[in-house]
Amino acid sequence: MANLKEIRNRISSVSSTMQITSAMKMVSAAKLKKAQDAITEMRPYADKLTELLQSLSATLDADSGSKYATQRPVNKVLVVAIASNRGLCGAFNSNIIKECTNLTNNVYKGKEVSIVAVGKKVNDALSKTHPIISNESGVFDDLTFDNVSKIAETLMQKFVEGEFDKIVLVYNRFKNAATQIVTTEQYLPVVPMETEGNTNLDYIFEPSKTEIVEQLIPKSLKTQLFKGIRDSFASEHGARMTAMHKATDNATELRDQLKLTYNKARQAAITNEILEIVGGAEALNN
């Protein structure tokens, strides 16, 4: 009977876990819809703005180029690692940590690499092996353009002042609920679009092209960072919903197996008791 009690306890434990994972799946599914709509609506605007500014930057003279497009020998690199504040979302956080480690050990080997952590999980993991200059995990408590703009302004200031020669973003790009693509993109300096010799931009500029670029680049950089964090936010809920869906399925399968094991053990115990009763009755008759 002790064995039966142990199985019953396990069935109860698995059932409780299944209820939790199922509830978390439904919560993430509800949050995912809103986050997905936000990034889907924002992405075309952000991509077109970036494309326009890169195209304009490519036509500027070297002397009139933006301070945000200044190319310097890369000795100091700042990696903005965007993950999440919570776990239970599969490989969502670990993929970002692996990519940051790859950048440090391979891509920028021999360079001085620092980290800006956006998310408690990536901050806790990378702080053991990398210098963390800033932890911006609080941005997820109130994810607005204004709050992200403050982070972007700090990054732009650090680049302009020469504190870092290159800044890159590492985040999960949202594709669908089941697929998140680890993306590494250059943030600063701004990379001009490679244009062919016969490319003709039919634009009329008022005021000058240089003034327009200087005014729009900060806004574009803020939008680019906001898009990256929004992408990561939607990816987090998609990853958590998928992970909790799989966990619920596994818990259901395990519960069914335990119930089958329990029924077999209970049947065996009842059979043994019957055999003992019959054996005792025959012994009395003899």
* E-state strands within 151-206: 166-176, 179-188
> Does residue 136 sit in helix, strand or coil?
coil
Q: Is the residue at 277 inside a domain?
A: no
d(CA 268, CA 228): 59
- Domain of 80, in residue numbers: 21-243
Q: Tell me: the pLDDT tens digits for 242-283?
A: 999 999 999 999 999 999 999 988 888 888 888 888 888 777
Res 269: pLDDT = 84
DSSP state of 206: S
What CATH code is carried by the domain that includes residue 32? 3.40.1380.10
Q: Is the residue at 265 inside a domain?
A: no
pLDDT classification of 64: cutoffs 50, 70, 90: very low
Instruction: Give the lowest-confidence range in 25-29, 61-65, 188-192, 225-229.
Output: 61-65
Res 198: pLDDT = 44
Say if residue 234's pLDDT is above 80. Answer: yes
pTM, full prediction: 0.85
Q: Is the residue at 181 inside a domain?
A: yes
Q: Is the residue at 220 inside a domain?
A: yes
Buried b (16+ CB within 10 A) or exposed e, 24-38: bbeebbebbeebbee
Res 193: pLDDT = 65
Q: Is the residue at 253 inside a domain?
A: no
**Residue position matching structure tokens 């100091």:** 76
Share of the chain above pLDDT 70, in %: 91
Backbone angles phi, psi at 135, to 5 degrees: -115, 110
- Which two three-digit tokens encode residue 105? 């050990």
Q: Tell me: the pLDDT tens digits for 194-221?
A: 655 445 556 677 777 777 777 888 998 9
Cβ distance 231 to 41 under 8 Å?
no
Q: Is the residue at 139 inside a domain?
A: yes
DSSP state of 266: H
Q: Is the residue at 120 inside a domain?
A: yes
Question: Into how many domains does the chain fold?
Answer: 1
Q: Is the residue at 169 inside a domain?
A: yes
d(CA 213, CA 190): 11
d(CA 202, CA 135): 44
